[in-house]
A and B are shown apart, each in its own frame.
Chain A
Amino acid sequence: KQEVTQIPAALSVPEGENLVLNCSFTDSAIYNLQWFRQDPGKGLTSLLLIQSSQREQTSGRLNASLDKSSGRSTLYIAASQPGDSATYLCAVIQGGSEKLVFGKGMKLTVNP
C-alpha cells in the first residue's frame, strides 16, 4: 500500500527565505507526482506535475524534483513571500491506478 509522508507538518519562516519542502513515498512504481497548494477552506490548486520519466519541473519561483529510486520529491520555493502562505500537498499516482494518494500536507507560514 502506497504511503506518502510530508515532514515537517508545519513551517514558519521570514519573508525572502528559500525553502525546501519534502515528500517521501513508499512504493517507487509511480506514474506521476503532483504538488498542490491549498488555501484555508478552499480547493486544491495544481502547482507542478512531474511524470515518472522526468526528473524535475519548474514554474516561476517553484521547482520540483523527483527521485523515484529513493522515493523522494522536493518542492523548492525561491524568495518566499507572505502570499506563499498555504498548505502544500504532494500526491502520487501508481502505475495502473487512477487515484491520487496524498500526504497530509505541510502548512507554510511566511512572515512579513
Chain B
Amino acid sequence: ETGVTQSPTHLIKTRGQQVTLRCSSQSGHNTVSWYQQALGQGPQFIFQYYREEENGRGNFPPRFSGLQFPNYSSELNVNALELDDSALYLCASSYLAEQFFGPGTRLTVL
C-alpha cells in the first residue's frame, strides 16, 4: 500500500473553467510529482515539488500550476480548461528513488 491518496476520483468541467485536484502523500515523502495520462498513452510529467518549491517542469503551459504544503499534501490547478485537458491526473510521491502513485483523478472537460 502506497499511502498516496487523491481527490476527487472523478470530475466533470466545462471548457474555460478552472479546476483544483488534490493529493496527499505519506509522511516523510518530501517530493511530489504530477502526471497527465491521456487514454492509451503513458503518463506525461507535468511538474515536481520538493519541500514546497517547484523542482522541475515538463512541457505544459503556465495555466498548469501547483502547490505543495508542509503536511505532505499538494494541489494541481488548471486554469482555462481545454477539451484536450481531459485525462487521468496522477500524483506520485518519492521515497528512496522509488515513486509511488495515487489512484488518480479522472477529469472530463466538456
Contact = CB atoms under 8 A, between A and B. Distances in A.
B99 interface: yes
A99 B47 CA distance: 8
A35 B1 CA distance: 16
A41 B106 contact: yes
Q: Is the interface of A mostly helix, strand, loop or mixed?
A: strand
Interface residues of B, number: 29
A91 interface: yes
A34 B106 contact: no
Nearest to B43: A102
Contacts, number: 64
A45 B101 contact: yes
B12 interface: no
A33 B88 CA distance: 22
Interface of A: 4, 31-32, 34, 36, 41-46, 49, 51, 89, 91, 93, 97-105
Given A43-B90, A49-B97, A93-B97, 8 more contacts: A31-B97, A41-B88, A41-B106, A43-B101, A51-B97, A91-B43, A98-B48, A100-B92
